Structures are given as structure tokens and as C-alpha cells.
Chain A
Amino acid sequence: MDDFFTFALERYNYWIVIILMMTGLYIVISRGNLVKKIVGLNLFQTSVFIFYITIGKMVGATAPIYIGDELYKAHGDDHGDGHGKGHDKDHGDAHNGAAYDDSHASDHDSAHEEGLHAAPQANDREANDLGSDALDHGDSLHGKIDNLGANDLKAAIAEAGPADGADADSLHDLSDRVDAGKIANDPLVKPPSEDAPALDIAEAPLHEGAGNTLEDFQGVADASHGAMEIMYANPLPHVLILTAIVVGVATTAVGLALAVRIREAYGAIEEDELEALDAVAEFGEGGAEAAGAAQ
């Protein structure tokens, strides 16, 4: 029984959707006032918006806006040398191979230093302007890998289906898969130890996603242990629902415009009054008007 309650409570957003939907439908059906009908219709549509947003939401994921390299910088900020360097080094090893390793790691770190004070976007450009070939190369590689990660995550989410399907296990698998991919990209590199990259990767999204309330998310971080570098919420449902909101607004506008025209033509917006008026127009109160209004 407890299981059932937790199951039901954990999905409270679906309950909101259902309650709103039924309320809206009930209003549409039961109310005779045309404006109230439109209000009911709106509630009904709103429930669908919430439903779609629910689909797109993921626990611990950030808004679906591509942040890319700035994450590393933020990461560097938070953790200072120890962690940040380790992280960067791992990446350098994994992707750039021996040739680029040193230059990349150091350049990248210096870029971080500058980034401490500048706005992230500007910093990015600055770094690119300043950078040697090696730096450029390193950055673009990083970008690529970020993309790779994001895509894999998306695919995996698609497979996992509902938002809450992204549990610790699957995330762990994911990170493993991504690591494997990286390693496969460069045969020169020895596979890193199981834990090191996974840990790094796990913590990255938490800092990013959480921002200031880093500590709050630390627990979740350890639990998920293998999260991607960045976890994005699924953007597609949001886009869809933006479209649906536009449709809903248009529907409301047309509906209210019709209500205004009905008021002009009949002088009433209550459904039963309208029916009575139509009946009078068709059959006449005494039958006198019948001939004239029949057309």
C-alpha cells in the first residue's frame, strides 16, 4: 500500500494534469455561459501544456540551452586547481593524444584563469582570439565531445522514454558508453581508470545545473555517479507546447470574438437564452413572426 502511495505521490504532476483536464472539460460541458465555456476550454488546454512540460522535464537537468565550454570554466572556478586540472588533464589525455597534451592542458587552464573575471561568452571569444593553434584545436575537440555527449544522452533519453527513466544506472551506462567512445576515437591513449573520468563527469552537471546551491545537489551527484557532462532537459516538448500555446491563444481569441458577435446579434451570451431566442425567431411567440424569420 505504501508503495502505491509513493508511486502516486511521485507522479503528482500527472495528477495536476488530470484534475485540471477534468475541471476544464466539466466547465465546458456544464456551463451555459459562452465566456465560461472558453475559460473551461483554456483550462483543458493548459492541462495539456503541463503534460507536455512534464514529458520534457528531467531531474537535475538544466534548461536546454547549449552552454558548451563555459561549463569547464565554471567548473574550474568552483574547484580551483585540484579538481579542475585533473578534469582537464583527463580530457586532454583522452582526446588529444600525446602531441597536444601539454599545450592543450596548460592553454586551457590559462583560459580559465582569465575567465574568472570576464563574462563567459566574451571569455570564449577572447580565448579563441588569443589562442594558439593548439588551443583552437583543443577547444574545437572539446566542443565536439560535448556534442557527442549531448546527442548520446538525447538518444538514450528517447529510448528510456519518460523523464523519470533517467535513473542512476542508465546514466552510469551512458557515461561509460561516452568514455568508450572517446577512447575509441584515439587508439594511442590508454583507457583511464574506471572511476576517475566517471566521477569528473558526474560532478560537472551538478555544478553547472545547480549554480549556487551546489551543496544541495551533492548528494544526488554521488548517487547518480555517472551523469553526463551536461544534462539538458528535453527541448522538444517545450517547443511543441510553445506552438500549442499559440494555437490555444488563437482559439481563445476566435472564441471570444465569436462571443462578442453573438452578444451583438442576440443581446445574450447564455446558451439557454440563445436557444429561446432562436426558437422565438423560428416559430414566433404567437406564430406571428414565423413566416418572416423562417429563412
Chain B
Amino acid sequence: MNLMEQVPVLPVVIPMLAAPFVMIAPNGRAPWAMATVVAWATFIACIFLLQMVSQQGVISYALGDWAPPIGIEYRIDLANALVLLLVSGMAAVVFPFAYKSMQSEIDPKQSSFFYAAFLICLTGLLGVTITGDAFNIFVFLEISSLSTYALVAMGARRDRRALTAAFNYLVMGTIGATFFVIGIGLLYQTTGTLNLADLADRISDQDNRMIDAGFAFILVGIGLKLAMFPMHLWLPNAYTYAPTAVTAFLAATATKVAVYVIIRFFYSVFGFNFEFLGAAFTWVLLPLGLAGMFIASLVALFQEDVKRMLAYSSVAQIGYMLVGLSFGTVEGVSATLVHVFNHALMKGALFMAIGCVVLRMGSASIASFSGLAKTMPVTTWAFIISGLSLIGVPLTVGFVSKWYLLEAAFDVGQVFVGFLIVASSLIALGYVGRIAELMLLREPPENAPSGTTPWSMLIPMWVLVAANVYFGLSTTLTGGVAERAAAALMSAAGGAP
């Protein structure tokens, strides 16, 4: 019973056990401080995990010492170690940021509940990522979703529309989760197992309608959760009205974890022997991804609220991930994984910049961005650098993502898709440029409130901006790990190497 053997379970256990204590802590600084320490402890555990996986290969941890496949297995390979690192890392950065931001955005009486819900959300997201059990994924998905509904609703202090946004999110999210659980039920009925590795084993030699139906239910259910293009309607409102720190965290992690789940099911469970998979790639993921890229980007162009604009941009970015996935090659999957990681960095930084603006100006409407370069230069440049990253300018992570995506597209001969990826990036240039123009070239309004942005918000934001540049120059962590992870997934799925 040494500690290192128990590391795989720590990312889930630490925030889960800490959450009740955070909840009973007196309102004010205490719950925040506890939550931040917990987030960092989780982050450190995830760093250890990535190191362990990187050195010794796949880790299988039998929860409660019940041997899989009967017991619940935590199974960590490179792909989910990377996502774990991302989720916990974002939490570690967002929690320090949240303190000042939340003081102004939520009811101070709710602060202990807020941080407790935040930790539970973190637990859920990490649990979805780490587990190797299909039903466990559903449970953790709902743990994270339920706390997310509460977190979104807490934006009601600033705008009551947060409540309706949370309600709609709840309805859509529950339908999605229920579809997912129907899919799991169908798979269980045909195979008699819930362990993902075991499922893959038993599905590989059968092809029947039960499995087809299960696959379809899972695809639609997770599609709702990850805001795949026509099922994204909950996302813009939820992201717009949620407290900004929550938006920064969710935009960086929640949909990414759902993307991971779909990768896991496609490659680790169904595999290429499953005939439906190719059809899903060609007829569902590729067209919907492309449609999302363009339609959501175009909608983003005309938004009056910068938060909502970036929310639509998130839908578009998910389109890129789905397109990468739809190629069904190692390059495609690694492009998706890289983009999952990189998009989290850029959206996290952008939403944090918006958080700083909201703190000062009281709103994220486009008017409050005018002339910002003169009143809030530090925030402005953070926004512009991460905005450039969103477009995909060289020296930023956005460029790395696009590069991987284009390479994958040309590799499978989809030159036209490559062309569309570049074209939709130009729309991103449109909406980011519009804000940049406002910030740099306009004069600030006369009655602009003055003040300083607290360091506790600037530092996390600039950490992410620096990460945007750093990972744009050095791709050993993102690209290297993602390529190895994708190769491992692909060989398990029986696809072309």
C-alpha cells in the first residue's frame, strides 16, 4: 500500500472529498483558498500520472481492489493522461483567477457553494476521463453536468437570463446523458460487460443492429454534450450568462472531455472492424464538423456580446476537432488531441481577459471593449495574443493545431477540406479583428470606470497566454504525446498505422 500505487485514483478522490469541507467553510476567502489548494494537489497528481504513463505505458487501477472487468477499472493511457493534465491544469489556473472575479459576479453568500460545486464539476470531468468503465462515464458525466447547471445559474446575479440558460442546458444535457445511457444499455445487452476494454473485445467479432443502435445512441448523446453543430443550442446562452471564471473553465474543459469520450468510444471500443464507424466519419462527423466551422463562425461575426461571440467560436472550434477525427488516421486523431489541448489554452485565456473586462466595465458587451488599449493595456494584449492564436497565426498554439489538421487533411487527400479549414480561419480573423480594432483604434468612452485589475487575475491570464506562445514553439508535450497517444489508439482500433 504505497502511495504511488494509489496515484491513479487521486485526481478523482481529492476534489470529491474536499468538496463537502469547502461547502461548510464560512463564506469569503476560506472556501476559495481550500479549493485552490485542492486544484493544485490534483494538478500535481495528474502530472505524476502523465509521467508514469509516459514511462511505463498503460496503467490499470482496480477501484476498491475489485479486479476488472467485474470491478470498475481506472485505465490511463497517454490520451487520457493528456486530457487529465489539461483539465486539472486549467482548474489550477482558473481557481486563483476566480477569487476577485467571483467577488463581483456572484452573490457573496454563495461563495462556499460556488467553490464546492466547482470542485465537484472538476471531479466529474476528471472521472469521465480517467475511468475505463462505460457506466462510470455516465455517472461522472452527470456529476459534472449537474454541478455545471448550478454554476451557470449562479450568473443570475448579473443577468437573470442565466437561469433560463441553465434550465435549457439541464434539459438538453439530460437528454444527451439519457441517450448515452440507452446506448450503454444496448451494448451491455449484447455483450454483458461494461468495461471498455472488455466491450471492445466482445464487439469486435459481432455485427448486429443492437450494436449499431447502441453506437448511434452514444454518438447522439455525446454529440449533445460536446455541442456538435446542430445540437449546440444550449452552449451559447450557458457560456454567455455563466460567471466568467466558470465560462473560462467550461469552455476549456467540459466540451473537450466530451470529445475525448467520443474518441475513446470510436477507437477503443468500436474500432475499425465496426462498419458503422466509417459511415459515421464520412456522413456525420465530417459534414457536421464543416457546417459547424462555417455557420457558427459566421454567427459569431454578428454578436453584440463578446462572451457570446466566443461561445459561438467554441462551437466552430469543436467543428475542427470533429473534422480531424473524421479522417480516421493517426494524423487526424493527433490533430484532434492537439487541438483539444490548444483550444483549451486559447479559450481559457480569452475568457479570462473578458473576466478582467467585466470586472472593470461591468459588462462584456462590445461597447465596453472600445478603446480598451488605453485603459487596460495588459488585458488588451493578452486578448489580442490569444485571439491571434485562435485565428492560427504562426508562433502560437493555434498555428500548431491548424498545421496538424491541414497535414492530416492532405494526407488523406481531402484537399478541399484543407481549403475549407483555412477559409473558416479567415472568418475567425473577422470576428477577432473586429474586437481588436475596437480595442486598439477607438477612443475609450468618456465615463470609462478607472481602477486596476488585480494581480490574482492578471497572472493566471498571462500564464495561459504564455502557454499559448510556449506550446506554439515547442510541441514536444502536446504534439509528441498526442502523436504517441493517437498511434496507440489507432493500433488498438485495428486501423492503418
Known: A25-B175, A274-B164, A295-B362. A254 touches B146 (CB 8 A): yes
**In the assembly, what is the distance between CA of A37 and CA of B365, in Å?**
32
For A240, what are the chain B residues with a Cβ–Cβ distance below 8 Å?
Answer: 135, 188, 194
A227-261 near B? 1/0 per residue, CB < 8 Å: 00000000011001001100100110011001101
* Count of chain A residues near B, Cβ 8 A: 36
* Complex Cα spacing A162 to B164, Å: 41
Q: B185 to chain A: which residues have CB within 8 Å?
A: 48, 51-52, 55, 237
Total number of residue pairs linking A and B with CB closer than 8 Å? 90
Q: Which residues of A contact B204 (CB under 8 A)?
A: none
Which of A37, A48, A294, A295 contacts B171 (CB under 8 A)? A37
Flag if A258 contacts B175 (CB, 8 Å).
no
Q: Restricting to B300-319, which residues have a CB under 8 Å from any CB of A?
A: none
Contact present for B171 and A41 (CB under 8 Å)? yes
CA distance A251 to B166 in the complex (A): 12
Q: Cβ of A1 < 8 Å from any Cβ of B? A: no
Within 187-211 of B, Cβ neighbours of A (below 8 Å) are at 188-194
Q: Is the CB of A251 within 8 A of B174?
A: yes
The reply to whether A258 and B163 contact each other, CB–CB distance below 8 Å, is yes
Known A55-B185, A157-B192, A295-B362; judge A243-B170 contact (CB<8 A).
no
**B12 interface residue, CB < 8 Å from A?**
no
Across the interface, A44 reaches (CB within 8 A) one of B146, B175, B190, namely: B175
Name the contact of B181 in the complex, choosing from A244, A259, A262 (C-beta under 8 A).
A244
How many residues on B have C-beta within 8 angstroms of the other chain's C-beta atoms? Answer: 36
Let me know if A262 and B175 touch, CB within 8 A: no
Residue of B nearest to A250 (CB): B146
B429 is an interface residue with CB less than 8 A from chain A? no
A163-207 interface code vs B (CB 8 A; 1 in, 0 out): 000000000000000000000000000000000000000000000
A224 proximal to B (CB < 8 A): no
Listed residue (B142, B156, B164, B177) with the most chain A CB atoms within 10 angstroms of its CB = B164
Counting CB contacts under 8 A, is A45 at the interface?
yes
Say if the beta carbon of B139 comes within 8 Å of chain A: yes
State A261–B188 Cα separation when bound (angstroms).
39
Q: Is the CB of A55 within 8 A of B188?
A: yes
Query: Would you give the shortest CB distance from B244 to chain A, in whole angstroms?
Result: 13
Bound together, the chains give a CA A247 to CA B362 distance in angstroms of 37
Q: What A residues does B178 contact at CB under 8 A?
A: 44-45, 48
- Of the A-B pairs whose beta carbons lie under 8 Å apart in the complex, a sample of 13, sorted by A's number, is A28-B171, A41-B171, A44-B178, A45-B174, A45-B178, A236-B194, A240-B194, A243-B139, A244-B138, A247-B139, A247-B142, A262-B164, A295-B159
Q: Give A residues with C-beta under 8 Å from B.
A: 25, 28, 34, 37, 41, 44-45, 48, 51-52, 55, 157-159, 161-162, 236-237, 240, 243-244, 247, 250-251, 254-255, 258-259, 261-262, 265-266, 274, 278, 294-295
Closest 10 CB pairs of A and B: A158-B192, A295-B363, A265-B160, A247-B142, A262-B163, A258-B167, A55-B189, A251-B174, A255-B170, A261-B163
